[in-house]
Structure 1
Amino acid sequence: MRIIKWVVRLLVLLAVIFVGGAFLLPKETSVARTVTMNAAPEVIFPYIANLRANQSWSPWLDRDPDIQLAFNDVPEGVGAAMSWQSEHPQVGSGNMIIIEAQDPRRLVTALDFGEMGTATAYFNLVAAEGGTAVTWGFTSDNGNNPMFRWMGLMMDGWVGPDYEQGLNNLKKLVEGA
């Protein structure tokens, strides 16, 4: 009986630490990667602003050849939307819509991953030595969900390499490699 009480107290303590500790973590998660491309922003921007063109450089589409994609009738820019469904755990399902497009400098999308939450992704294109520095990033509000706050600590490691791969794919595409 004494061991059971000890185990219960330990579990309660761990739960308090888990939940309480979560509220010491940042409420917002951010991830961003930048790659300089030897191309003008006007050459790069159409590959970002047209969601169908994203298929040529997306880091996720190669992971699941059976992914199902659907697009709305807006070809590019504000209002263009895409949804995807995949059984692959690294791809998942969701949808995105372009909510801001400042051709050829900035694009912002709203992402909805269903039960996994929402995020805002962005692309910034800035003149740099040797071409254009393209930054792909996202921010997510983890709210008061302790699990999302803990997951926020791992997002850079989960999403960052994919953003790097996508930007490098885009770089090869726009540089004609």
Structure 2
Amino acid sequence: MTAFTVTRSTAIAAPAAPAETVYGLIADFHEWRLWSPWEDLDPQLHREYTGPSSGPGASYAWKGNRKAGAGRMTISAVEAGRSVDVDLEFIKPMSSHNHVRFDIVPSGAGVEVTWTMTGETSGLFSLIGRIVPMDKFAGKDFEKGLAALKARAENR
């Protein structure tokens, strides 16, 4: 097994209450349709939301085409306006379990948002990871997602 960390950050200057605005877009999986970099991989994506609408226990499962795969995310912990922790389980195309964390830190008139995913690769994916590190594999998606999150928060 090979441990990995992928992390990206962006500054967001939402017009009013930037920490609360950004937190609301992250802590409610229904909002992810507006900024997640993976939402457009399958126009027929099947989504299922369970648990509370946001915060700890909120869960989002998806099933889609080969690109979208299948998996589940569950919010495991929050600090309102400051952080969101997510347990991420990929089922297809390959099985893995990762931890995702969003940190929201005041910065000037806005916030700095940091999106971090940690986990371990094993088997074939571990071998592939030696050629294409997870940071290179997922980093561009994080950048795309943070850009969309920024646009959404700043244009509310």
Structure-1-length-normalised TM-score? 0.78
Whole-angstrom distance in 2 between the partners of 1:84 and 1:35: 26
Whole-angstrom distance in 2 between the partners of 1:65 and 1:98: 25
SS in 2 for 1:170: helix
Q: Which residue of structure 1 aligns with residue 149 of structure 2?
A: 170
Question: Which of 42, 48, 62 lines up with 2:40 in the alignment?
Answer: 62
Superposition map of 1:110-121 within 5 A:
110-114=87-91, 115-121=94-100
| 1:155 and 2:134 matched | yes
Q: Which of the pair is proportionally richer in helix?
A: 1
Whole-angstrom distance in 2 between the partners of 1:168 and 1:64: 20
Q: Which residue of structure 2 aligns with residue 36 of structure 1?
A: 11
SS in 2 for 1:66: coil
Q: Which runs of 5+ in 1 are unaligned?
A: 1-22
- Report deviation, 1:87: 1.1
Whole-angstrom distance in 1 between the partners of 2:129 and 2:83: 25
- Report deviation, 1:122: 0.8
- Computing the radius of gyration from Cα coordinates, the structure with the larger value is 1
Tell which has more relative contact order, 1 or 2 (C-alpha 8 A, sep 6+).
Answer: 2
**What is the CA deviation profile of residues 13-63 of structure 1, one whole-angstrom value per residue up to 9, with x for unaligned ones?**
xxxxxxxxxx7xxx3110011010002211110000001111111111112
Conserved? CA contact 1:37–1:133, under 8 Å: yes
Aligned length: 149
Structure-2-length-normalised TM-score? 0.88
Q: Which of the pair is proportionally richer in strand?
A: 2
SS in 2 for 1:54: helix
Q: Which residue of structure 1 aligns with residue 73 of structure 2?
A: 96
Whole-angstrom distance in 1 between the partners of 2:19 and 2:110: 8
Q: CA RMSD in A?
A: 1.6
Whole-angstrom distance in 2 between the partners of 1:59 and 1:31: 15
Conserved? CA contact 1:29–1:152, under 8 Å: no
Runs of 4+ in structure 1 displaced over 2 angstroms? 145-154
Structure 2 residue identity aligned to 1:95: R
Counting aligned pairs with the same residue, the percent is: 29
Structure 2 residue identity aligned to 1:34: S
